[in-house]
Structure 1
Amino acid sequence: MITEQASRTPVGSWTVHAVTVSPEAGAPEGRPTVVMVHGLGMSARSLLPTARLLARDFRVVLPELPGNGRSTRPADVLDVPALADALVDWMDRVGLPSAVLVGHSLGSQVAVHAAGRHPDRVTALVLVSPSRDPLINTPWKKALRLLLDGPRESPKLLPVAVVDYLRAGPIRMWRTLRASLETDPIRTLGRVRQPTLVVRGDRDLLVSPWWARTICAVVGDGRVATVTDGPHGLPFSTPADLTRAIMPFLRDYPGLLS
């Protein structure tokens, strides 16, 4: 059995909404907290199916980044480095010294920046459907491929995405997307020294096999896992397959599973 609890935490002038999913008896002693970071315009709801499976072994926390979900919408749109800093500021406020970061899509970019900018706060990285593929290098290309990906996802994801996108607002999402493409992905990845797993669905239109391999070649310690018949939205559409891809990585990393 698992428990789910929502919280709202003041972080500077913002309030960050988060959902914590954990074993009813508590996570085994010594295991790190897993923090899952959602994608563009999305909320914790897009990650809950996978979080509930990971919570058999870990305490899993799903913060909603400023401007998304039920968190505060800053007047200015935050770029990726600012979102990464906001994530670490939230970790400070909730008393979380370090965590395994599991980022999805744009959340992977946020997780990578957090690992590079605050290396002592990130134990390991899991990059699920990581965005910023240089082969898809314009907002219009990404938006079109995201639209084409829709029919490949679980039908239950559509109402979640519609509500989350409306809540985030199309203008904020567009500006965030444009800002995300202004980063230098190779340079940013070059700062990562944490063990890193890249998980890509083989039907993902937004992440090429080349990009998944390139990430692993650039980071200090990387490996790739592929989800068969997996679309872009792996955490919601194929949670069991994604969890099976993640757990061997966590088992192989010393100290994460005992």
Structure 2
Amino acid sequence: MSFSLYTQVSGLRTHARVYGDAADPPLVVVPGLGCASWLYRRLAWVLARERRVYAYDPPGHGLSQGKRGEPTTVASLSDHLAAWMTEAGLGTAPLFGHSLGGEVVIDMAARHAEKVSALIACAPTGIPDNPSVTEQLWHLLEDIPRERPELLLPAAAAYLRCGPARMWRMARAQSHYPTGHLLPLVHRPTLLLDGTADPVIRSWTVQAICRHIPDSVVREIEGAPTP
């Protein structure tokens, strides 16, 4: 079973795709930069065997409304996510963040800890001392030919929906956001996923994050971790 859930958050019609009907506490999937809920369908169905899964669309992503010039920071993304969880009646839940979403869930655990029971950061970007935004985007382009062919069209649709201006603005803001200073404030069980062939996020970055979060562990995935 899956269905779309629309919730009004700060004047924005916010979308999430809900998978499964398990009674266990729900899990929220937070997408990467420019990504949309539909890119995480395969992951959501696997996780939905054990619990209900909410694949969330941030403002201006996927099927969620956005405002011109927003969001501008990782903090604004996590603030919206926290408000959406309240409006959706989720209370406290584990969060799964991919790429930029990994940075958002870490920020959530530091600044909105009451909303987070545990977190999984898959190839988290931007922290600490990641390469420049330009270098990350270049490596992302290099990775496109490696992706599953059936993922390319949905990914292109997601990026076009978000728009290059919004993606660039968020990527630039991310490079200046002091998430590294928030890592020691994360006091939730944390799983960091590192792809051995990921061209964007290097293993040393994930290991550095692990050293700064008290209750964290790294697990490697062969290849590049994609939805």
More displaced 10-residue stretch of structure 1: 79-88 or 67-76:
67-76
Q: What is residue 27 of structure 1 aligned with on the other side?
A: 22
d(CA) in 2 for partners of 1:12, 1:77: 12
Partner of 2:95: 101
User: 2:9 matched to which residue of 1?
Assistant: 11
Show CA shifts across 1:7-47 (max 9, x none): 2111121110110001xxx314xx32100000101100111
- C-alpha distance in structure 1 between counterparts of 2:210 and 2:51, whole Å: 25
Structure 1: gaps spanning 5 or more residues: 236-258
Cα distance in 1 for partners of 2:110, 2:127 equals 18
Q: What is aligned with 1:256?
A: none
**By how many angstroms is 1:134 displaced?**
4.3
Partner of 1:46: 39
* Structure 2 partner of 1:195: 189
1:184 aligned residue (156, 175, 178): 178
Distance 1:231 1:202 in 2: 6
Please give the alpha-carbon distance, in whole angstroms, between the structure 1 residues aligned to 2:179 and 2:220.
Answer: 21
Whether contact under 8 Å (2:107, 2:179) holds in the other structure is no
1:210 is aligned with what amino acid?
A: W
Partner residue, 1:91 = 85
How many residues in Structure 1 have an aligned counterpart in Structure 2?
226
- Which letter maps to 2:105? A
Q: Distance in 1 between matches of 2:25 and 2:148?
A: 30
1:74 aligns to 2:67 (yes or no): yes
Q: Which amino acid aligns with 2:141?
A: L
Letter in 2 for 1:205: P
Partner of 2:216: 222
Instruction: Please state if 1:154 is matched with 2:148.
Output: yes
SS at match of 1:124: strand
- TM-score for both structures, normalised by structure 2: 0.96
**Residues 137 and 181, structure 1, Cα contact 8 Å, conserved in 2:** no
Q: Deviations over 1:43-69 (max 9, x none)?
A: 001111111000000110011000111
Residue 131 (structure 1) shift: 0.7
For residue 133 of structure 1, report the CA deviation from its aligned partner.
4.4
Matched-pair contact (CA < 8 Å) for 2:19–2:53: yes
Runs of 4+ deviating beyond 6 Å: none
Q: Which of 203, 210, 215 is 2:204 aligned to?
A: 210
Equivalent residue, structure 2, for 1:175: 169
Shift of 1:106: 0.4
Given that residues 4 and 21 in structure 1 are in contact (C-alpha distance below 8 angstroms), is that contact kept between their aligned partners in structure 2? yes
